[in-house]
């Protein structure tokens, strides 16, 4: 007897339909085989399904069971096929039909209950696109799928429950979507008000947040670089609907959505250590998975001690910094992951860290300093929009700032200006496939960044004096456009371009 149970396979962020074909034959010796390019985890489904059915007090059929996963030339991996395989076997044993326009996904425990399974959100998107109506998923993963409207998501706790539903004895009620509450982990570590001094650096952070620009901070140890970076999430605008769907897809594919989770509405702040591997940061592996740069999509990738990261990792970020996506190619698979993130980097100016310090003496030789700074290549620095020197705050200034801290701006006030600037950009690019000024291409700059003759002259003089590359030239225009948005100005004024020039690449050794 042949039973077909529809399921899905997730290949990166792409989802395809997989038919689980279960055949129970009376001829031949009893056995259980799975075919269809299945990996080790899928092959182990035999034991989970057999034990789960037995634990549910249902006699496991003593027949020759063959499971085919079609199409057979697509790799199948993971434990997500336990439920459709078990449903196919139980359909033959208990004689219930497989409902039409339904998809099944879930991992079984030995006691017959279902565990949280990654990829439920991707399956819901696929079901919505291709006209499926019912999704049978584990209860812990149901809310993740239910955020897609127009689908009936049926939360399954165990095999007994789904058998009763399919036999018409006791219906499983569709789950009602519940947005996840903000946790303490979603809140920024610091408020901008807590950062004493560093007004220019705070302004640079505001510009970076408003336009989605990359920024690097160079300064001595203890000057506040890490604190500034970790306060940045507090001034970032929330994700819009399209951005939220993009980020949630990545986390669903990687298994990063917790049980009971839902749409991701907060911009991610990822801060990998400089000892992270190339695959961990960029993504990849024999079965390509998203790395930190993809998990930071539409959010922030903070690389502290930027000079300490291996050169191979830095150079691997060139393409995603420019294009906003990453292509991972393997012999049998090619996966494209989005990687449009804000790079926030911090670095010391030299090995001892005090080359820029106004009072402490640097103990490094000039050759050591030059070698240390050359760890960051020119092409990478050229892809960073804002370069800022973070000077240490002396004790007297620190004391004055503490006494007048009630006059310092809170993150919430800065965030309001950032949100207004982003709203202007979203309205400006409503007909384009971009969301912020940092994403503008040359044709967008020509269309949306008309420069007056005075501004053009300043830009021309700066280009000649500092020998700017074509990329740096365009980035100055993008940054000045963001400053104009923060200033609620339709045109880019001389003051906006002058401020943008303050953040051009510089020699930090002599800063």
Number of neighbours of residue 61 by Cβ within 10 angstroms: 16
Tell me what the mean pLDDT of segment 482-490 comes to. 96
Q: Are residues 478 and 402 in the same domain?
A: yes
Task: Give the model confidence (pLDDT) of 234-246 as tens digits.
Answer: 999 999 888 999 9
Q: Are residues 306 and 431 in the same domain?
A: yes
Closest to 139 in 3D by CA, of 182, 166, 110, 172: 172
Contacts of residue 75, Cβ cutoff 8 Å, sequence gap at least 6: 9, 11, 37, 39, 287, 332, 333
Task: Give the model confidence (pLDDT) of 303-345 as tens digits.
Answer: 999 999 999 999 999 999 999 999 888 877 889 999 999 999 9
What pLDDT band is residue 202 in, cutting at 50, 70 and 90? Answer: very high
Tell me, what's the pLDDT at 509?
46
Residue 389 parent element (H or E): strand 386-390
In a domain, 173, yes or no: no
Span of 174-183, 266-275, 437-446 with lowest mean pLDDT? 174-183
Tell me, what's the pLDDT at 331?
74
User: Which pTM was predicted?
Assistant: 0.91
Number of domains composing the chain: 2
Number of neighbours of residue 454 by Cβ within 10 angstroms: 11
What pLDDT band is residue 394 in, cutting at 50, 70 and 90? Answer: confident
Contacts of residue 343, Cβ cutoff 8 Å, sequence gap at least 6: 214, 215, 216, 301, 303, 317, 321, 383, 384
Q: Are residues 493 and 440 in the same domain?
A: yes
In total, the chain counts a number of residues equal to: 511
pLDDT averaged over every residue in the chain? 91
Q: Are residues 149 and 221 in the same domain?
A: no
Assess whether pLDDT exceeds 50 at residue 511.
no
Q: Are residues 189 and 161 in the same domain?
A: no
Q: Are residues 22 and 121 in the same domain?
A: yes
Q: Which tokens in the block code for residue 268?
A: 């991610």
Q: Which tokens in the block code for residue 387?
A: 């370069």
Assess whether pLDDT exceeds 80 at residue 205.
yes
Last residue of a domain, one of 115, 133, 166: 166
| Residue 447, domain CATH | 3.40.50.300
| Residue 157, domain CATH | 3.30.230.10
Tell me what the mean pLDDT of segment 437-453 comes to. 93
Tell me, what's the pLDDT at 501?
94
Domain holding 289, by residue range, is 184-510
Tell me what the mean pLDDT of segment 138-142 comes to. 96
Last residue of a domain, one of 122, 137, 166: 166
Closest to 391 in 3D by CA, of 263, 220, 151, 230: 220
CB 317, CB 258: distance < 8 Å = no
CA atoms within 13 A on the CB side of 211: 29
CB 221, CB 353: distance < 8 Å = yes
Residue with tokens 């695959």: 279
| DSSP conformation letters of 328-379 | EE-SS-EEEEE---EEEEEE-SSSSS-TT-SSSPP---HHHHHHHHTTS-HH
- Would you call 497 exposed, middle or buried from its count of C-beta atoms within 10 A (0-12, 13-18, 19+)? buried
What pLDDT band is residue 149 in, cutting at 50, 70 and 90? Answer: very high
């Amino acid at each position: 007897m042949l039973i077909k149970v529809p399921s899905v396979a997730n290949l990166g962020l792409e989802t395809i339909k997989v038919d689980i074909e279960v055949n129970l034959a009376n001829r031949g010796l009893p056995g259980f085989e799975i075919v269809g390019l299945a990996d080790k985890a899928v092959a182990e489904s035999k034991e989970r399904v057999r034990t789960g059915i037995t634990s549910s007090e249902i006699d496991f059929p003593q027949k020759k069971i063959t499971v085919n996963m079609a199409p057979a030339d697509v790799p199948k991996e993971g434990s997500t096929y336990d439920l459709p395989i078990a449903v196919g076997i139980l359909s033959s044993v208990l004689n219930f039909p497989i409902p039409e326009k339904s998809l099944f996904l879930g991992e079984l425990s030995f006691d017959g209950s279902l565990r949280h399974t990654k990829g439920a959100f991707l399956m819901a998107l696929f079901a919505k696109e291709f006209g499926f109506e019912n999704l049978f998923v584990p209860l812990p993963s149901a809310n993740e799928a239910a955020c897609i409207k127009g689908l009936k998501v049926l939360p399954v706790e165990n095999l007994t429950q789904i058998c009763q539903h399919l036999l018409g004895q006791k219906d499983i009620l569709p789950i009602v979507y519940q947005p996840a509450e903000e946790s303490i982990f979603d809140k920024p570590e610091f408020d901008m008000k807590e950062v004493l001094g560093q007004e220019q650096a705070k302004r640079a952070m505001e510009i970076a947040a408003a336009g989605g620009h990359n920024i690097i901070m160079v300064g001595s140890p203890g000057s506040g670089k890490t604190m500034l970076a970790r306060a940045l999430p507090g001034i970032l605008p929330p994700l819009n609907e399209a951005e939220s769907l993009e980020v949630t897809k990545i986390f669903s594919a990687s298994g990063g959505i917790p049980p009971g989770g839902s749409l991701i509405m907060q911009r991610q702040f990822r801060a990998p250590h400089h000892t992270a591997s190339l695959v961990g940061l960029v993504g990849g592996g024999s079965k390509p998975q998203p790395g930190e740069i993809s998990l930071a999509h539409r959010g922030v990738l903070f690389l502290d001690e930027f000079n300490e990261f291996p050169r191979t990792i830095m150079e691997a970020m060139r393409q995603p910094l420019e294009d906003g996506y990453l292509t991972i190619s393997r012999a049998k698979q090619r996966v494209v992951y989005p990687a449009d993130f804000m790079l926030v980097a911090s670095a010391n100016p030299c090995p001892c860290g005090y080359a820029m310090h106004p009072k402490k003496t640097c103990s490094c030789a000039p050759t050591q300093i030059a070698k240390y700074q050359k760890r960051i290549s020119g092409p990478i620095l050229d892809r960073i929009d804002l370069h800022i020197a973070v000077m240490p705050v002396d004790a007297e200034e620190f004391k004055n700032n503490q006494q007048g801290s009630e006059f310092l701006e809170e993150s919430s006030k800065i965030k309001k200006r950032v949100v207004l600037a982003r709203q202007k950009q979203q309205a400006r690019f409503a007909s384009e496939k971009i969301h912020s000024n940092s994403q503008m291409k040359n044709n967008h700059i020509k269309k949306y960044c008309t420069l007056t003759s005075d501004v053009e002259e300043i830009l021309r003089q700066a280009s000649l004096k500092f020998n700017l590359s074509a990329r740096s030239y365009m980035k100055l225009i993008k940054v000045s456009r963001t400053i104009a948005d923060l200033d609620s100005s339709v045109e880019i004024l001389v003051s906006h371009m002058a401020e943008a020039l303050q953040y051009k690449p510089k020699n930090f050794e002599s800063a």
